[in-house]
Amino acid sequence: MPRAQKKRAARAAAAPGATPAPRAAASRATPAAPEDTGPQPWSIRGLLVIAGLVAVLQLPLALLDSFRNGHQHGYGVYLIASLAPISLPQQIEVLVAYVIVMPVARRLAGEHRSMGMLETLGLGAVTLIVLTALWQIALIAAGGNPVDTKGNVAPAALVAGAFADVAGLVGGAVLYPVIQRRFRPGRGRGR
């Protein structure tokens, strides 16, 4: 290229509004976007909102249990025992509660996506495991037999059960992301 053409090209490149040379543009290119890693997990706050809504949903369920049993015990007993994973129907009730409250929790927590059905059931299952462990500890701490021969529930058992319920819901919400990260497909396998 003759010298005059090189000068004109240099002046044109230096002029305002000029486009840079192709080689310079390539060197300034932005790095490639990171690979899509799939949906982002819910925040702890969002999971705690779900747990709180499950606890609120237990209020009418405990009232139904109270009516069904003819008010044999006080409402507090039914409320505390509503989250106790004693029988399969109670465990299914807890899992269904998680599925029911998830859309409301998504809006309240400001999460960007809905949890899938298996994700929601997984959160409920982790919470049930934590509840089962804490209820076992609560019953042992309360003396092993929370109900006397007259059908009265020991106050220590009620306090221990209430602690197991609250700690189980919070513990499930806090423990679930750890388990989800560990067992998520394609993660932590040396890729």
Distance (Å, whole) CA 97 – CA 4? 79
Distance in angstroms (rounded) separating the CA atoms of residues 9 and 177: 58
Residues 6+ apart with CB under 8 A from 7: none
Residue 92's contacts (CB-CB under 8 Å, 6 or more residues apart) are none
With bands split at pLDDT 50, 70 and 90, how would you rate the model's confidence at 176?
very high
pLDDT confidence of residue 25: 52
Please give the Cα distance from 157 to 139 (Å, whole number): 7
State residue 156's pLDDT score: 82
Cα–Cα distances in angstroms (integers) from residue 138 to residues 12, 155, 166, 174, 175, in the given order: 81, 12, 12, 20, 20
Nearest-angstrom CA–CA distance, 75 and 63? 7
* Mean pLDDT rounded to a whole number for the chain: 81
Looking at this protein, which amino acid is placed at residue 48?
L
Indicate the pTM of the whole model.
0.71
Closest to 53 (Cα-Cα) out of 177, 173, 179, 176: 173
17-60 pLDDT per residue, tens:
655 555 555 555 555 555 556 677 888 999 999 999 999 999 99
Q: Which residues pair with 153 in a beta bridge?
A: 147
Q: Which helix (H) or strand (E) holds 150?
A: none
Q: In whole angstroms, give the CA distance from residue 177 to residue 170.
A: 12
Q: Return the half-sphere exposure (C-beta side, CA atoms, 13 A cut-off) of residue 130.
A: 23
